[in-house]
Structure 1
Amino acid sequence: MIDTPSQPRPPLAASLRQMIAVLETERQALAGLDADALIASAHEKEGLCDVLAEFGPQALDSETRGLAETARQLNEVNRRVRNLLAANVAARIEALGGPHRMPRATYAAGRS
């Protein structure tokens, strides 16, 4: 049996810095309403979350703890911006359709 070396995992600090960069890119995509960039950011964040999942809390030192906190804060800001954008879109759609909504049963399969 041939023993194949596994790929070395990137250091925690490097992964956190990369996550911060992706979160900054996501913020810019939100500001520009760039759907393609938002999707790309989501894929990058998902991959980085997989990498970061390999580390436990015991891996944090003072530098990485600060980087993790920065990433957490950026993610929270981006989440709030996404929620505001979604609320704005919902309000505009409701304004177009008026205050009365169609019952969901109207759209159910098999109903006329």
Structure 2
Amino acid sequence: MTGRPARPSLPLAAQLRQMIAVLEAERQALAALDADAVIASARDKESLCASLAGFGPDALDGETRALAETARHLNDVNRRVRNLLAANVAARIEALGGPRRMPHPAYAAMRG
């Protein structure tokens, strides 16, 4: 799906299947720490979200409800992985040079 916008003429189930494929690709990109692939996945997700915005809850049947729930679960797992990676990076940076907190601009102005 990378680089191609979702076609709004596709039925809801097909778009949800595309979203699931993009989320699985994102998970692989996160595991490989492939920043370019993560960014491409984010673009693809944004495009698909724009296409899915035209559908309301009344468009869901049993199949599409299950697909939407799968996509929701995959997105949640990927979000957790992204958060863990970010926390790991922050911990490594702090270990290198210690926590360097910048003073809040309001406090810096009071001291200056």
CA contact (8 A) 2:29 2:37 kept: yes
Q: Which structure has the greater CA radius of gyration? A: 1
Once the 2 structures are TM-superposed, how far is the Cα of residue 102 of structure 1 from its aligned partner?
4.8
Gaps of 5+ in 2: 1-6
CA contact (8 A) 2:16 2:68 kept: yes
Aligned positions of 1:36-55 closer than 5 A:
36-55=36-55
Aligned positions of 1:78-97 closer than 5 A:
78-97=78-97
Q: Which residue of 1 aligns with 2:65?
A: 65
Q: Percent identity?
A: 79
The separation in 1 between residues aligned to 2:101 and 2:26, in whole angstroms, is 33
Alignment root-mean-square deviation, CA = 1.9
CA contact (8 A) 2:20 2:71 kept: yes
1:49-75 deviation per Cα after TM superposition (whole angstroms, max 9, x unaligned): 000000000000000000000000000
Once the 2 structures are TM-superposed, how far is the Cα of residue 103 of structure 1 from its aligned partner?
3.5
Once the 2 structures are TM-superposed, how far is the Cα of residue 86 of structure 1 from its aligned partner?
0.1
- For normalisation by structure 1, the TM-score amounts to 0.83
Moved over 2 A (4+): 99-105
Matched, 1:21 2:16: no
The separation in 2 between residues aligned to 1:40 and 1:69, in whole angstroms, is 23
Matched position secondary structure for 2:46: helix
1:92 counterpart letter in structure 2: R
